[in-house]
Amino acid sequence: MKKRRALVTGCAGFLGSHLVVRLLQEGFSVVGVDNLITGTKRNIEQIEGDFRFLELDVTTGLWLEEDFDRIYHFASPASPADYIQYPIQTLKVGALGTHNVLGLAKACGGRVLLASTSEVYGDPEISPQTEDYWGHVNPIGPRGVYDEAKRFAEAMVMAYHRVHGVETRIARIFNTYGPRMRRNDGRVVPTFIDQILRGEPLTVHGDGKQTRSFTYVDDTIDGIFRLMEFENSERAFLPVNIGSSDEKTLLELAALVARLAGRDYEIRYCPLPVDDPKVRRPDITRAREWLGWEPRVTLEEGLRRTIAWFRGRSPF
C-alpha cells in the first residue's frame, strides 16, 4: 500500500513535536514546518524516520508541491507568555495561516485538523464546558489575541467544510503538560517544576483556588490522532474537547509537584492576570462516546515523568 503522507505545522513546538513522533510510529511519511518563533529545533533534532523539516512561516504562504493525506495545523504561540509577546503573529497565524492551510487541503484533497483550544471558552460561566457552549471572551483584552485567533480559525475551518467540502476536524485542547515544555513557557506546570527544582517559591496568581484540568501529552496526542481518523460524516467535523475532567486548584497542583519532587516549598502570591479563567474543566462525553478516548495517565504519574525529564535537562 502507498505510504500515507502527513503535514504538521508548528512541528517544532511542544505538541507538534510529539505529534510528529506519533505519526511516524503510525507509519506516516511526515513533513513538518515551523518558523521557530516559539518552537525549537531541539524538539525535533533527535526524531528518526521518514521526517523532513522545512523552516517557513505559514502566514506568508504554504506552496508545497506535494499532496498530503492528513494536515495537522498546530502553528501558533500557545502560552500566555508567548501570545502576549507576539500578539500580531498570533492573530496572523490564526487567520492567514489557517487560510493557507485550508487552501492547501482543498487543493490536494487532504483532511485537515485544527489544533484549537479551551481558550475559545474564555473565562467560562458554566462548568464543565461542553462543545455547545459559545464562550465568554473579552476580544479587546490581552488574552483576546489568542482566544479570538482560535475562534476565527474554527469559523474558517467550518466555512471551508461547508463551502468547499474539505474534510475537517476541530480539537479543542485543554491544558497539556509533559516533556519538551520550555522552562520559561509561562504555563503553570513547567513554571512550578522549574521553581521547585531551583528551590524558589512557587508563583501562584490570585488566591490559587482557580482550577485547571491537566492532561499528559501522550494522552492528548492519542485523542488528536483518534479524532483525525474518526469516520462519521454527520459528526466528525464538529469540535471535540480533548482534556482531563479531573479538576485541580493551583494550590493542589503546587502541593503535588512539591511532594513528587521531594522538596519543601513556599507560595509567593501575585496579582491575577487580566481575564484569567477561574475554572477550566472539559466535558469529554463526545471524546468518550465518539472516539473511545479518555486520559489514561494519572496526574501523579504524568508529573513524575515530567519532573524526571526536567531534572535530566537542567543542572538543578
Residues 126 and 233 in one domain: yes
Q: What are 173-183's pLDDT values in tens digits?
A: 999 999 999 98
List Cα–Cα distances, 34 to 15, 28, 180, 195, 228, in angstroms: 12, 19, 16, 29, 21
Give the three-state DSSP class for 146.
helix
Asked if the structure places residue 261 within a domain, the reply is yes
Residues 208 and 223 in one domain: no
Q: What is the CATH number of the domain that holds 76?
A: 3.40.50.720
Q: What are 198-245's pLDDT values in tens digits?
A: 999 999 999 999 999 999 999 999 999 999 999 999 999 999 999 999
Asked if the structure places residue 290 within a domain, the reply is no
Q: What are 108-164's pLDDT values in tens digits?
A: 999 999 999 999 999 999 999 999 999 999 999 999 999 999 999 999 999 999 999
On whether the pTM is more than 0.85, the answer is: yes
Residues 166 and 140 in one domain: yes
Give the three-state DSSP class for 4.
coil
Asked if the structure places residue 309 within a domain, the reply is yes
Task: Please answer whether residues 46 and 24 qualify as being in contact, where contact means their C-beta atoms are separated by less than 8 angstroms.
Answer: no
Residues 249 and 236 in one domain: no
- For residue 91, how far is the Cα from the chain centroid? 16
According to the model, what pLDDT value does residue 115 have? 98
According to the model, what pLDDT value does residue 263 have? 95
Q: How many domains, in total, are found in the chain?
A: 2
For residue 91, give the amino acid letter. Answer: L
Q: Which residues are catalytic?
A: 146
Residues 69 and 160 in one domain: yes
Q: What are 233-274's pLDDT values in tens digits?
A: 999 999 999 999 999 999 999 999 999 999 999 999 999 888
Q: What are 83-110's pLDDT values in tens digits?
A: 999 999 999 999 999 999 999 999 999 9
Domain span including residue 225? 5-176+217-242
